[in-house]
Structure 1
Amino acid sequence: MTKDCEENNSKAIDNGNNGEDRLTDEVHSAASGVFSFQHAKLDKKSSARLNKQKRKFLGGEEQEEEASVGGRNNRMLDGYEPPDVPSVAGLAGLITGCCKPYQKRLTETDVRKNQSRLLFCNNMMPLLKEDENVGNGIPVVVYDGRGKEYRMKFKRWGSAMYVLTSSDWPKFCSEYKLAKDVDIVTVWMFRHRVTEKLCFVISCRWSPPPTIAQGKALHRRPRKMLLV
């Protein structure tokens, strides 16, 4: 009986070791496959499918939209280079600590009424105070070129994206008849010299890219242009 038990235990140990060996072999094989895969050249269909899965699991859809339409802080999207400090009625001498201007061509989600937000990338890092938490959102005042005020919230999305959000953003879009692909906004972030609050200035201009302007006739609605 004792001999039989010892033999059975020995077999169990051997089977366990073999299982671990097989598992180790599979892990090494998978790791080798992944390592070699980084040098593989994919066709367009496979690459698109892989990128779709990456966006699904890593949340990169907004980042891709931001990079593909308007560029990341491209200061001369259509040949216009905005000033480092905006000139706004009522703000003379009140703008301090102004960040470099950020431009983007508006996307569909920027002007979608049910989303109520303007998305931009991490070039707009603010000079935050200790009691300001951009993850939770910071109430801010947003000015247009005439000095009109809009109340919004400045908030971080994920690790590298930011939004200005509130019901006042759709009002801004409606006021200037902003549309995707053909309107560009310029955004400045600054501290108000008196209140020391975080503030923004947003100007906009109608500027369709050549591929759109030449590819189809645009119905150009009367709109208020705002350059500062």
Structure 2
Amino acid sequence: MMQNTEAMVGYPEELKEKETSFAMKQNTEVMETSITMKQKTEVNMVGYPEELKENAALALFLVSLRYEVLDPKAYFRLEELKRKTLGNSDDIDTPKAKKRAGPSQKSRVVVKQEGAINVEKDFPGCLGFTQDEIFEMVNNYKPPRIPPVPGLEGLIGRCSEPFEKQLTGSDVRKDQCRLAMSTADVQKNLMPLLKEDEKIDEGIDVVTYDKYGKEFDMVFKVWSEGRMNVLIRGWKTFCNEHNLQEHRDFVTVWMFRRLDNDKLSFVITRRTLPICEEIKRRRMPRKNPSI
């Protein structure tokens, strides 16, 4: 490739001319090769329907993306888009698939680390984002008052206010098999929906829906040790099917009663953020304190 002007300072003029001539020759050869390949492709596709031509061009473009170098923000946006498009990767990242996967099967996408502003210092584990950006992503989220779940339209009666929780390591560990919820969230949002004969200490059978309307049988109860509010039993299946991860995944929880049978039910959805450690929520500071 052609050397830039600064890199060639001090070169003898004769060497500069040879270097420039060689680089120009290389560029010309590359351009000629590209033109030839394009012409051959066009010749080979003569008579092809336009739709097939477009599909072939798109396929080549997608293949080239495997080696694209991305900045961290673009990477995580694409990851989130992939999750949404492919059903949160639930159909791909199954436990069986994980067992088959080896080191060579890791993603080829390269996360570009250049340009991160003191990320490790500001917020360790959050590559490419400052502390304020992370808190903004966490605190500015406002879930809908009623969960938009297919199949539940017109069936949601009394419904709690939604609350969000960042998943911890114990929430997703196979030997724990429970989703722990804070006492404050449970007392404020969930307890008002319980009937007198529903004893949370004994455990209440509930149906939990994911964002697609799939049902998971769980039990809502309080563990006597530490008085921890939890969802158990079906939580492990839910966690595995949705490939939930500690710290990165935040789950939003609603509890409601069905209008058709008055049964207590939950809806749990998740969103994924580029976070690798526990976040302590705080109020975002105002940009102009005098206002």
For the residues of structure 1 that align with 2:171 and 2:138, how far apart are their CA atoms? 17
| Residue correspondence of structure 1 range 1-12 to structure 2 within 5 A | none
For the residues of structure 2 that align with 1:165 and 1:210, how far apart are their CA atoms? 25
**What is the aligned counterpart of 2:228 among 158, 161, 177?**
161
Structure 1's unaligned 5+ residue stretches are 1-73, 213-228
**What is the aligned counterpart of 2:264 among 164, 183, 198?**
198
For the residues of structure 2 that align with 1:106 and 1:83, how far apart are their CA atoms? 20
Q: CA deviation at 1:205?
A: 1.4
Residue by residue over 1:78-117, the C-alpha shift from the partner in whole angstroms, topping out at 9 and shown as x without a partner, is 5321011101000001111111111011000000111110
Within the alignment, does 1:137 sit opposite 2:198 as a pair?
Answer: no
The question of whether the paired residues in 1 share the 8 Å contact of 2:222 and 2:230 is answered with yes
Equivalence for 1:102:
163
Equivalence for 1:188:
254
The question of whether the paired residues in 2 share the 8 Å contact of 1:121 and 1:160 is answered with no
Equivalence for 1:146:
212
RMSD: 2.1
For the residues of structure 1 that align with 2:227 and 2:145, how far apart are their CA atoms? 23
Structure 2's unaligned 5+ residue stretches are 1-134, 279-291
The question of whether the paired residues in 1 share the 8 Å contact of 2:247 and 2:276 is answered with no
Q: CA deviation at 1:210?
A: 7.8
Equivalence for 1:9:
none
Within the alignment, does 1:118 sit opposite 2:214 as a pair?
Answer: no
| Residue correspondence of structure 1 range 30-179 to structure 2 within 5 A | 77-122=138-183, 123-124=185-186, 125-126=190-191, 127-158=193-224, 161-166=228-233, 168-179=234-245
The question of whether the paired residues in 2 share the 8 Å contact of 1:78 and 1:207 is answered with no
Q: Which amino acid aligns with 2:213?
A: G
Q: Which amino acid aligns with 1:82?
A: P
Q: CA deviation at 1:171?
A: 1.5
TM normalised by structure 2 equals: 0.44
The question of whether the paired residues in 1 share the 8 Å contact of 2:145 and 2:161 is answered with yes
The question of whether the paired residues in 2 share the 8 Å contact of 1:110 and 1:119 is answered with yes
Residue by residue over 1:99-153, the C-alpha shift from the partner in whole angstroms, topping out at 9 and shown as x without a partner, is 1111011000000111110000122233211221100100000000111000000
Residue by residue over 1:24-61, the C-alpha shift from the partner in whole angstroms, topping out at 9 and shown as x without a partner, is xxxxxxxxxxxxxxxxxxxxxxxxxxxxxxxxxxxxxx
For the residues of structure 1 that align with 2:250 and 2:196, how far apart are their CA atoms? 33
Q: CA deviation at 1:170?
A: 1.6
SS in 2 for 1:77: helix
For the residues of structure 1 that align with 2:264 and 2:277, how far apart are their CA atoms? 37
The question of whether the paired residues in 2 share the 8 Å contact of 1:189 and 1:200 is answered with yes
SS in 2 for 1:171: helix
Q: How many aligned positions are there? A: 137
Q: Which amino acid aligns with 2:262?
A: E
TM normalised by structure 1 equals: 0.56
The question of whether the paired residues in 1 share the 8 Å contact of 2:143 and 2:162 is answered with yes
